[in-house]
Amino acid sequence: MQLFGRHPGRRLILYFAFTIIIGTMLLLIPASTSNRSIKLIDALFTATSAVCVTGLTVMDTGQDFTLFGQLIILVLIQLGGLGIMTFTTALFVSLGAQLSFRERLGFNQSLGGGIQINIRSLLKAIILITFIIEVIGTILLFFKFRNDFTPGKALFVAIFHSVSAFCNAGFSTFSTSLENFNNDLSMISIFSFLIIAGGLGFVVIRELCDGIKNKKFRLSLHTKLAVSVTVVLLVLGTGAFFIAEQKSSFSEMRFTHALANAFFQSVTCRTAGFYTTCQNNLTEASLLISIVLMFIGACPGSTGGGIKTTSIAVILFLAFSRFMGKSSITVFKRSITTDSIIRALTVFILAILVIAIASTALMFFEEQPLAHYQSKGWFVENLFEIFSAFGTVGLSLEVTSKLHAIGKIIIIICMFTGRVGLLTLAFALAKPPKKGEIVYSEESVMIG
């Protein structure tokens, strides 16, 4: 635990800030861009988007950046993805130290298999799992790209997209992302596998791998909740998108292709950023569904953003328990702690406040005639952009590159806050109460 000190949340912020600054400086080098020099704000935006594994872009990654520039972006994405998994795992271990001996024993066994957890061994395991999944993705994608590019180019494109997909970054060297592959079921399957794997998180992946290896799935409550909510969101999202776009974007597709694209939209909205269907062609119902999924996001300790699957699960179970007249939340024959409930509610409220403030600010500073925006309307485009930035998703209604400098700064702050802010708050809230703290008598307040 000494590897990250006593405050991994602070280290997380410093890690991301330092990496973004270095990335910005490297992208400003003339060798990074192809046809034109890059502005400081655009270099900062690109570096932030890459490190925060968001995917929003103000420049075309494949056209405006040279191979050197694309390599920089690739490294930033990898550092961002590994940083999130590493520091959040350290965060969970730090929180586990505050549990009772019995709780800590179960918690530690789900992470490292013993009472004492060595952060360095966890770090090695994270890097190994990341490497294995990304290599598998690279191999599969290489066989898909080898007919379209030279072997060297196909290998680089495969590596770039494998890393970007697993890290849920959404960066692509293709100007239209994966639109040209919307009828390729194998390509959709490969990207879906990488995105979902990255969105589950190291803890979940390790538990599932141990279960397969030992042929005994003794999963922790965290893993059960994370996997269950992920499956439910994928199923409901797929069905909702399929119905919403049946007479629109999917009208000319065969049933299997329409279902696959609906599934991929459900996958990518939860922080990936790749797309097989132009977001501007989606119906308003699909945009609303996308916003909800972007807000929820992926699982804790993963490369994805959002308020996280377990947070929304705890909040929904809390509402259901209160409706049923129960005083405690019971899930999978386990009771969720009050501390977890408070953290979930706080993260939810904070996310709403950040999105409301950012959306209002963007409205004020970017308010202008709508002539150069798309037909969805500036309010919808603005809201979609903010949710995408805060959830580190990367989907856009083609607004990002049209923003002024102040608008880009707002999005940068939103991406950075969405990536590290809520984790830091959760860590702060998990601290034990101070000794000698004055506790006053309780009094009820009328609610509702």
Considering only CA atoms, which of 158, 229, 172 is closest in space to residue 196? 229
Residue 59 has pLDDT above 90, yes or no: yes
Residue that has been written with the tokens 């592959």 in this structure: 181
Q: Domain map of the chain by residue range?
A: 8-429
Residues 226, 200 contacting (CB under 8 angstroms): yes
Residue 82 has pLDDT above 90, yes or no: no
Structure tokens at 401: 């590159």
Structure tokens at 299: 């699982």
> Where is pLDDT greater, at 187 or 331?
187
> Where is pLDDT greater, at 130 or 110?
130
Q: Report pLDDT for 433.
A: 56
pLDDT band at 328 (very low <50, low <70, confident <90, very high): confident
Q: Report pLDDT for 108.
A: 47
Mean pLDDT of 201-227: 82
Q: Report pLDDT for 422.
A: 66
* Distance (Å, whole) CA 133 – CA 319: 37
- Single pTM value for the model: 0.88
Residues 396, 408 contacting (CB under 8 angstroms): no
Max avg pLDDT among 1-5, 101-105, 184-188, 300-304? 184-188
Mean pLDDT of 98-113: 45
* Distance (Å, whole) CA 337 – CA 269: 30
pLDDT band at 69 (very low <50, low <70, confident <90, very high): very high
Residue 65's DSSP bridge partners are: 33
pLDDT band at 276 (very low <50, low <70, confident <90, very high): very high
pLDDT band at 99 (very low <50, low <70, confident <90, very high): very low
* Distance (Å, whole) CA 330 – CA 341: 12
> Where is pLDDT greater, at 131 or 429?
131
Of the chain, the percentage scoring pLDDT greater than 90 comes to 54
Q: 447: which residues sit within 8 A by CB, 6+ positions away?
A: none
Residues 54, 83 contacting (CB under 8 angstroms): no
Q: 126: which residues sit within 8 A by CB, 6+ positions away?
A: 82, 85, 86, 89, 202
pLDDT digits (tens, 9 = 90+) for 216-255: 777 888 889 999 999 999 999 999 999 999 999 999 999 9
Considering only CA atoms, which of 46, 157, 8 is closest in space to residue 412? 46
Residue 107 has pLDDT above 60, yes or no: no
Q: Report pLDDT for 243.
A: 96
Q: Report pLDDT for 91.
A: 58
